[in-house]
Amino acid sequence: MKTYEISRLIMKYRIGNPFETDAVLQKGRECDKENIEYFQIEETEGFRLSYRMTPQDIIWGLGENQKGMNKRGGVYVSYCTDDPNHTPDKKSLYGAHNFFVVDGEEKFGVFIDYPSKVTFDIGFTHSEFLDITVEGKDFDLYILKGTSLREIVQQFLSLIGESYCPPKWAFGYQQSRWSYMNAEEVEKIVDSFLYYDIPCDAVYLDIDYMEKFKDFTVDDASFPNFEGFVKKIKDKGFRLVPIIDAGVKIEKGYDVYEEGIEKNYFCVDEKGEAFVAAVWPGRVHFPDFLNPEARRWFGLKYKGLIDWGIEGFWNDMNEPAIFYTNKELHKAVEKAKEAQNQNLDIYSYFELRDAFVGLLNNLKDYQDFYHKSEGKLVNHDKLHNLYGYNMTRAAAEAFEEIQPDKRFLMFSRASYIGAHRYGGIWTGDNHSWWEHLLLNVKMMSSLNMCGFLYSGADTGGFGGDVNPQLMIRWMQFSLFTPLFRNHSAMGTRRQEPFAFDEGTLHILRNIIRLRYALIPYIYSEFMRALLNRDVYMAPLAFHYDDERSRRVEDQLLVGDALMITPIYEENAGGRYVWIPEEMLLWKAVDYKNRSYQIYKKGNAYLEADMQETPIFIRKNHIVLLGKHGSSVEELCHDELEAIAFVDSKATYVYYDDDGTTKEYKNRQYKEVLIEIEKIKNDFQITIINKGNDKLKKISFEILDIQGNMTKKIVEVS
């Protein structure tokens, strides 16, 4: 792995002898741990670090977590957990992202590189204290300095390395469901998108495509001639994206099982035998993704599906989730036997019930198995948070070997800092609740700060039944997230766009088309963030440092030019917004018919009917859009439109590349520099084209501060 000299602004303190997580790419300069700035350190059973916050301090970050953008007031436990009920009191979700920024008079970032449990008590127990409890004695602590939140985040993103880059088609709309059960059902979905003329790039295969939930198999009865089917669907303009689970089914004759046993690639119990747990396919072994050989072996298994034409995957259950283990199940069954014919009192009954309920993701199980690392056995619990990360790494490293120059779609449920180099993440089993739309809004910028640029939530909600308006409002938000996928659980209301009434369908179609029209901007901004170690979605605080703006938690900056103000309340005909400086509002019903309104700095009530997506364009900024198409590959970006809000001068660098290879890493991409300058009562437009030979023409709509519009068409050569 390439390593870099550590920046002067980053202090690294090594405590004990940490396990190498590979979260960080820059090695080098270590500072004296007797002189750690900002924190009081106390050695306990592990370590406790305390920082006294000022009342003004905002604590940003912590990636995939509950509560606000400002993490004050909560307790967060980094221990990757499969919990499908994301109620506000939950302390752990699927990721472990131990990076945060203290933003007050003192500004600094903190990263705890420790692969097991870390607890962040941020003004919960004591309103002024930020207490970090590390449950072990070996970890690296990084303190990052900078003069602004943005600068600190950029330092961190440089420290952990360039984010994974998906293929361009993965910026299209994607349709999922647990599960489309067979080829006919998948084809019906695909045909419905075509029939209703709704753009879509991918349809997902959840666990039922497999034979008895066995990884890398395809059920022949429900998907006969899979290779031919993949091709048929691709010819219609869609990709199929199958799921891969962490657990390998124990079954005689199943090659993945047999090879794993033969080569000792599975995690082992204390007796040295392959550890047994029960999860999706039933009794399974867990591949030891911490062992590089096992990682390579498992990763190369994806090749079978790739050879059949698959170009993307999602990795599930890799916390790893455990439904039960024999040992704990046995205890519960014994308890039940004892209870038989006894006159249980209420508490004993509760205990009996909990013995079964508690089997799911029982923390004790994580202490019962081991990984092989450099010849030694390491208890899983000690590096729990690295499991999903290394499953994704297994896939990514194999893709690199199988087809080095191709970008595959890959995202995972569990993750750790560093996993962002290998894939994106989705945020797991949310619900069709308005609260989870808001949580999605708040979480996106925190994920970006931890490197997970390609991310998104199950749009519409996974659990529970969505209603038309929640579906619409959620789509109006997700159209801006890089991963834009509608996914829902078995047994819930269908939530494909055409599963709703005609009026709703019409609105949803327009929203999805708007997404496709905005791809020149969305992709350009995403790639710019990726290449410059920056974020794609940010809190207002990234650009506006006044107190009012810094406190806004339900609006986001998307790329450099846009601010979005999602509507997340039922039956709302609009919402209150904070406008941090003069902005231009475009209420998008569809992307073709546009009307604009200038908003002055201040508080305002924004009206937005169900069919309207409000989009604010920042002052002296430009947004580019094209036409929609039925898929990303269908988009033809020879003619673009630009909407600009210009007081003095606005510039935009429009980025594009081939969308499929890694040539961008060799600076093989095309840029078009666009500059609009106000000169007296006119606007002068300059375009410098560096290699985009597709682009022929840009039609401008330029609004000045009074709201006067100037239209211009510029030929590009």
Nearest CA to 442 out of 145, 162, 70, 84 is that of: 70
Partners of 456 in the beta sheet?
426
d(CA 81, CA 49): 24
Helix (H) or strand (E) holding 690, with range, is strand 682-690
For residue 176, the minimal CB distance to ligand MIG (Å) is 8
The 56-95 contact track toward ligand MIG, x by CB under 6 A, reads: ----------------------------------------
Both tokens of 347, joined, read 């508490």
d(CA 107, CA 643): 36
Q: By C-beta, is 249 or 487 nearer to ligand MIG? A: 487
Does residue number 429 form part of the binding site for ligand MIG (CB under 6 A)? yes
Which one of 140, 201, 288, 429 is the catalytic residue?
A: 429
The SS3 assignment for 11 reads strand
Q: Counting Cβ atoms within 10 Å, is residue 273 exposed (0-12), middle (13-18) or buried (19+)?
A: exposed
Which one of 316, 525, 560, 656 is the catalytic residue?
A: 316
For residue 207, the minimal CB distance to ligand MIG (Å) is 4
Which one of 22, 319, 525, 560 is the catalytic residue?
A: 319
The 148-187 contact track toward ligand MIG, x by CB under 6 A, reads: ------------------------------x---------
DSSP state of 266: B
Both tokens of 411, joined, read 């995202």
Q: By C-beta, is 243 or 449 nearer to ligand MIG? A: 243
Please, which of residues 231-250 interact with ligand MIG by CB under 6 A? Answer: 243
Please, which of residues 434-493 interact with ligand MIG by CB under 6 A? Answer: 487
Does residue number 418 form part of the binding site for ligand MIG (CB under 6 A)? no
Does residue number 428 form part of the binding site for ligand MIG (CB under 6 A)? yes
Nearest CA to 516 out of 45, 197, 177 is that of: 197
Whether 429 sits among the annotated catalytic residues: the reply is: yes
In sequence order, what DSSP letters do the residues of 355-395 get, joined into one string? HHHTTTT-GGGGGS-EEEETTEEEEGGGGGGGHHHHHHHHH
Q: By C-beta, is 328 or 429 nearer to ligand MIG? A: 429
For residue 83, the minimal CB distance to ligand MIG (Å) is 11
Q: How many residues bind ligand MIG (CB under 6 A)?
A: 9
Nearest CA to 99 out of 138, 132, 52 is that of: 132
The 104-133 contact track toward ligand MIG, x by CB under 6 A, reads: ------------------------------
For residue 174, the minimal CB distance to ligand MIG (Å) is 13
Helix (H) or strand (E) holding 438, with range, is helix 434-449
Q: By C-beta, is 166 or 428 nearer to ligand MIG? A: 428
Return the residue nearest ligand MIG (CB atom).
178
Does residue number 206 form part of the binding site for ligand MIG (CB under 6 A)? yes
d(CA 411, CA 483): 9
For residue 282, the minimal CB distance to ligand MIG (Å) is 13
Q: By C-beta, is 178 or 254 nearer to ligand MIG? A: 178
The SS3 assignment for 570 reads coil
For residue 413, the minimal CB distance to ligand MIG (Å) is 6
Q: By C-beta, is 281 or 287 nearer to ligand MIG? A: 281
Does residue number 612 form part of the binding site for ligand MIG (CB under 6 A)? no
In sequence order, what DSSP letters do the residues of 392-433 get, joined into one string? HHHHHHHHHHHSTTBPPEEEESSEETTGGGT-EEE--S-BS-
Q: By C-beta, is 321 or 355 nearer to ligand MIG? A: 321
For residue 179, the minimal CB distance to ligand MIG (Å) is 7
Whether the bond between 320 and the residue before it is cis, its omega within 30 degrees of 0, is yes
For residue 671, the minimal CB distance to ligand MIG (Å) is 37
Contacts 24+ apart (CB under 8 A), 373-377: 373/19, 373/290, 373/291, 377/268
d(CA 313, CA 326): 30
Q: By C-beta, is 181 or 598 nearer to ligand MIG? A: 181
For residue 206, the minimal CB distance to ligand MIG (Å) is 5
Q: By C-beta, is 71 or 239 nearer to ligand MIG? A: 239
Among 57, 64, 316, 525, binds ligand MIG (CB under 6 A): 316
Contacts 24+ apart (CB under 8 A), 259-265: 259/297, 260/285, 260/287, 260/294, 260/297, 261/285, 263/293, 263/294, 263/297, 264/372, 265/291, 265/293, 265/294, 265/297, 265/298
Among 413, 420, 436, 533, binds ligand MIG (CB under 6 A): 413
Give the CA distances from residue 7 to residues 25, 34, 703, in Å, rounded to whole numbers and listed in that order. Answer: 12, 20, 42
d(CA 35, CA 43): 15
Give the CA distances from residue 518 to residues 488, 548, 637, 713, in Å, rounded to whole numbers and listed in that order. Answer: 25, 29, 11, 19
| Contact footprint for ligand MIG (CB under 6 A) | 178, 206-207, 243, 316, 413, 428-429, 487
Query: Which sequence positions are flagged as catalytic?
Result: 316, 319, 429
